[in-house]
Structure 1
Amino acid sequence: MRYNLRKFVPLLLVTMVMLLTIAIQPHSVKAAEPVDIEAESAILVDYETGNIIYAKNPDMALPPASMTKIMTEYLVHEAIEEGQISWDTTTQISDYAYSISADTSSSGVGLQQNKDYTVKQLYDAMAINSDNATSIALAELIAGSEGEFVKMMNAKAEEMGLTDTEFVNSTGLANSSLGENVPEGTDPNANNLLSARSSALLAYRLINDYPEALDVTKIPSTEFEGETITNWNWMLKHGEESSSLQQFYYEGMDGLKTGHTDLAKYAFTGTAEQDGNRLISVVMKTESMEARFQETAKLLDYGFEQFENQEIFPAGYQLEGESSIPVLKGKEDTVQVATDQAFNASVKGEQAENYTIEYHFNEDLMNESGELTAPIEKGEKVGTAKVTYNGDDENYGSILPDESPGSINLVAQDAVEKNNWFMLTLGAIGSFFTDIFSTVVDTVKGWF
């Protein structure tokens, strides 16, 4: 029997396409699935842009426990920058700080009284081992009392734009556990409160303003008073003596702060850098010490594997049809305008195609005819360029409160000098006669 192979070619092609579809589809679906984070609240942020990549109940105010110490760390760096103290400044331990250090139920390195400790010693113990007493000692050194330091914490939180935030002590402990040492002016039954969004923004500010903080938070263990103290961040590369922790190691991890109380459960503000791209993650109220690192790893994997920081619109971008503005009383009739900086975003897949840009000129600088009035300086801001995401995936915005997400300055590309009085006079005379001629023409037309 002879077969006509031509009849089987279409069927063969259809079969091959179906097989390829079946083979490829599971991987495509898996890559498109959103990450599922088992935490009460979570957030993932691209450090370079401030863009939020993932969010789950990000504005829920929860007790941050020892993640509170990120603010304490910030204020220590600020005091050093302002010359109030130095890393070599020494201080002794108060009765209050000593009582906390002696409490075996609390994080403690075993501080002694009537002994000088440097700021560097206290800071390292706080940042690496999450020591509570050293946090109190630093607060008292900087502000005179923890109560006054708490005022500084809340003032700085407001300055940074941290929403859903309240600080009542420098450590993250519940005030009810402080006995007679509750910071003055705070509720004896209160807890510090911080949302995942604000924790991410606080971490961003610490890293951005004082990047040297990461030189300490990335240390897995160190010596304090002849004893080894260990970092509670299990995602760092711990030594062979801590081989059980190696299962949690995450490439590029170098901070930032863990937290745990019975009320707050287990929380972690982490940050890692891979191939020049840094992410900041926060998980709050997870069920176990292990879970907070497992959920953080899921978040970071999602960010590093599925997102890429891309330049969507370059600096100097000009929108077609709106690249120039008419100028009144200038030696030039128009001036070129363009964006003064590039617009970058953390992009998933082909999302870059879903961004559009539109110009919004400053109406206060323009007359009713839409003209700018000379003189105009080169680089002068004349409006903003608003970038909008129009894709199907959810756009979570930015953690940076002082920057309108997707808004960049629109500036003049050249200077335009004001015309001299003679040319302005000629122009005015010309306009005068033009108006008269137009009036006469309109009048004559009216006769007919």
Structure 2
Amino acid sequence: MKEKVRPVRIKTVIAASLAVWMVMLSLGSAVAMANGYQGRESTKNDLGLQVKAAILIDADSGQVLYEVNSEEPLPAASMTKLMTEYIVLEEITNERLSWDEVITTSAEAASTPSDGSSVFLAQGDQHTVRDLYKAMAVGSANDATIALASQIAGSEQGFVKKMNEVAAELGLKTAIFTSATGLSETTVISATDMARLAQIILSKHPEFLDYSKLQEYKFRERDKDPIININWMLGTNVNQKGLKHLAYEGVDGMKTGFINAAGYNFTGTVKRGEQRFISVVMDTATKSARFNETAKMYNYGFSTFEKKTVLAPKSVVETAKTVKIKKGKKKTLPIVTEKDITFMVKKGVEPKIEVVSSDVKSEAELVAPIPAGTVVGTVTYKYTDAETKQELKKTVNLVTTEDGTKAGWFRLMFRGIGDFFSGLFNGIVNLF
């Protein structure tokens, strides 16, 4: 008797096939969701940024408005040049270098690999500091960067030593520089420290923006084409064919970067009205993605936050209304805050602040005459974000509101006699 063979159930086979297909599709989707360069996983965040790390801060105060994995040191690529640019500006400020100084291209600078950004310097070529700086700021030229570094420190490695010393002075705790250009993948820094460096540059050297906002720059007269600014997000690019879709109103700096280990990075800044933001995105997938992800943060910043003055200038502090002085017609002078205190707060939220501490100079330190506006102490206020619980502190000076004129000798004599008998009486009372 032959064994009966059961017919294959077509529906079962189809169902099984669909199940396998769905599993494969889900695996494929998981890979597709890795949005960094070369399929690296992005860090989850509620803005949907396709980045490994990111941060958005208020340029004036350094207040953090948004952050994603912002403390992890990551390869910086050519964003490293922000430190090189800062040091050059410091050298010029301290008159150890000048914009019109002519630099003779070193063998080290001329041998910089031309596979990255370059102005193709030859050994012995002569260019001004200004020309080399523009090539570095606009086109991220590696050879121009090395030429400047060699001029300042004798060699790239000598300059790298200086970079790390300056990073320590500025409190950039995660920064490790191993090259002046960022071509080395062992040069790392966190998004937080990169934003901090950018803030320092804009605060100390606002002239930096005169170079970073240039749309193009012709390095040599004989060059066929000018260097096009690698920062495609410049607001002025709104009229540039092929770039206007990336242009963002108010963007006027700062520095892009790319190597395989870093992906596409961008440290940017934007100003609209009284608000200026600084942003950093690290390890995005494409040249355009770094600007698209930055735009998401800018949109969030402008739509969510506003500057609000929580303490007006010349406010009286309850815990420090007056200060004692010596040898003045008056023994005390009224004092107020020198400047206002302003925070970035979420729109529609009324911020609450509290005095954390106040400190005024001792009477012995304040001897008349004392002009109005003299700094005699400080007061520190704290603002706590009700939603994030982030605590922000600001310290402002306390200043005198009127002149503390010196008393005449006759007044001082009788005041001294009065103080003597007052002290004597108190001493006698304390005996009993």
- Does TM-score exceed 0.5, indicating one fold? yes
| Alpha-carbon distance in 2 for matches of 1:120, 1:112 | 18
Counterpart residue identity of residue 365, structure 1: S
Residue 376 of structure 1: CA displacement? Answer: 8.2
| Alpha-carbon distance in 2 for matches of 1:133, 1:373 | 56
Change in CA separation of 1:439 and 1:64 when aligned onto 2, cut-off 3 Å: closer
**Selected match of 1:195 from 185, 190, 197:** 190
| Alpha-carbon distance in 2 for matches of 1:321, 1:142 | 50
- The corresponding residue for 2:395 is 407
- The corresponding residue for 2:167 is 157
Residue 427 of structure 1: CA displacement? Answer: 3.0
SS at match of 1:159: helix
SS at match of 2:241: helix
Residue 53 of structure 1: CA displacement? Answer: 1.8
- The corresponding residue for 2:53 is 41
- The corresponding residue for 1:100 is 112
| Alpha-carbon distance in 2 for matches of 1:59, 1:138 | 30
Residue 235 of structure 1: CA displacement? Answer: 0.6
Change in CA separation of 1:123 and 1:319 when aligned onto 2, cut-off 3 Å: closer
Aligned residues: 379
- The corresponding residue for 1:292 is 290
- The corresponding residue for 2:98 is 86
The 5 A counterparts of 1:3-22 are: none
- Residue 220 in structure 1 maps to residue 215 in structure 2: yes
Change in CA separation of 1:439 and 1:108 when aligned onto 2, cut-off 3 Å: closer
Deviation per CA, 1:198-231: give whole Å up to 9, x if none: 2112112222222222122112223233333222
| Alpha-carbon distance in 2 for matches of 1:434, 1:159 | 52
Residue 355 of structure 1: CA displacement? Answer: 2.0
| Alpha-carbon distance in 2 for matches of 1:360, 1:409 | 10
**Selected match of 1:335 from 333, 351, 354:** 333
- Residue 136 in structure 1 maps to residue 146 in structure 2: yes
**Selected match of 1:59 from 71, 75, 82:** 71
Residue 62 of structure 1: CA displacement? Answer: 1.3
- The corresponding residue for 1:145 is 155
Residue 165 of structure 1: CA displacement? Answer: 0.9
- The corresponding residue for 1:272 is 270
Change in CA separation of 1:212 and 1:373 when aligned onto 2, cut-off 3 Å: closer
SS at match of 1:247: coil
**Selected match of 2:418 from 413, 417, 426:** 426
- The corresponding residue for 1:179 is none
**Selected match of 1:314 from 299, 312, 315:** 312
Counterpart residue identity of residue 167, structure 1: F
SS at match of 1:273: strand
SS at match of 2:96: coil
The 5 A counterparts of 1:168-247 are: 168-174=178-184, 191-224=186-219, 225-236=223-234, 237-238=236-237, 243-247=241-245
Change in CA separation of 1:119 and 1:320 when aligned onto 2, cut-off 3 Å: closer
Residue 429 of structure 1: CA displacement? Answer: 1.5
Moved runs in structure 1, 4+ residues, more than 6 A? 326-330
Answer yes or no: is the 8 Å Cα contact 1:54–1:396 preserved in 2.
Answer: no
Structure 1: unaligned runs, 5 residues or longer? 1-32, 175-189, 399-404, 443-448
Deviation per CA, 1:275-328: give whole Å up to 9, x if none: 132211111122322221111111111222221222211122113475235678
In the superposition, the TM-score normalised over structure 2's length comes to 0.78
| Alpha-carbon distance in 1 for matches of 2:50, 2:242 | 23
- Residue 118 in structure 1 maps to residue 151 in structure 2: no
| Alpha-carbon distance in 1 for matches of 2:181, 2:390 | 31
Residue 239 of structure 1: CA displacement? Answer: 7.5
Change in CA separation of 1:428 and 1:133 when aligned onto 2, cut-off 3 Å: same
Change in CA separation of 1:109 and 1:42 when aligned onto 2, cut-off 3 Å: same
| Alpha-carbon distance in 1 for matches of 2:213, 2:244 | 15
- The corresponding residue for 2:31 is none
| Alpha-carbon distance in 1 for matches of 2:100, 2:376 | 49
Counterpart residue identity of residue 96, structure 1: E
Structure 2: unaligned runs, 5 residues or longer? 1-44
Answer yes or no: is the 8 Å Cα contact 1:337–1:410 preserved in 2.
Answer: yes
Residue 246 of structure 1: CA displacement? Answer: 1.8
Of stretches 257-266 and 205-214 in structure 1, the one that deviates more from structure 2 is 205-214
Change in CA separation of 1:263 and 1:329 when aligned onto 2, cut-off 3 Å: same
In the superposition, the TM-score normalised over structure 1's length comes to 0.75
Answer yes or no: is the 8 Å Cα contact 2:382–2:391 preserved in 1.
Answer: no
CA RMSD of aligned residues (A): 3.0
| Alpha-carbon distance in 1 for matches of 2:320, 2:302 | 37
Of stretches 343-352 and 81-90 in structure 1, the one that deviates more from structure 2 is 81-90
Q: Which has the higher helix share?
A: 1
SS at match of 2:218: strand
Deviation per CA, 1:329-360: give whole Å up to 9, x if none: 86545432322221111121244432223542
Answer yes or no: is the 8 Å Cα contact 1:67–1:258 preserved in 2.
Answer: yes
| Alpha-carbon distance in 2 for matches of 1:139, 1:321 | 51
Residue 397 of structure 1: CA displacement? Answer: 6.0
Residue 253 of structure 1: CA displacement? Answer: 0.8
Counterpart residue identity of residue 394, structure 2: G
Residue 64 of structure 1: CA displacement? Answer: 0.8
Answer yes or no: is the 8 Å Cα contact 1:389–1:395 preserved in 2.
Answer: no
Answer yes or no: is the 8 Å Cα contact 2:320–2:358 preserved in 1.
Answer: no
Residue 258 of structure 1: CA displacement? Answer: 0.3
Change in CA separation of 1:203 and 1:247 when aligned onto 2, cut-off 3 Å: same
Residue 268 of structure 1: CA displacement? Answer: 0.5
Residue 243 of structure 1: CA displacement? Answer: 2.9
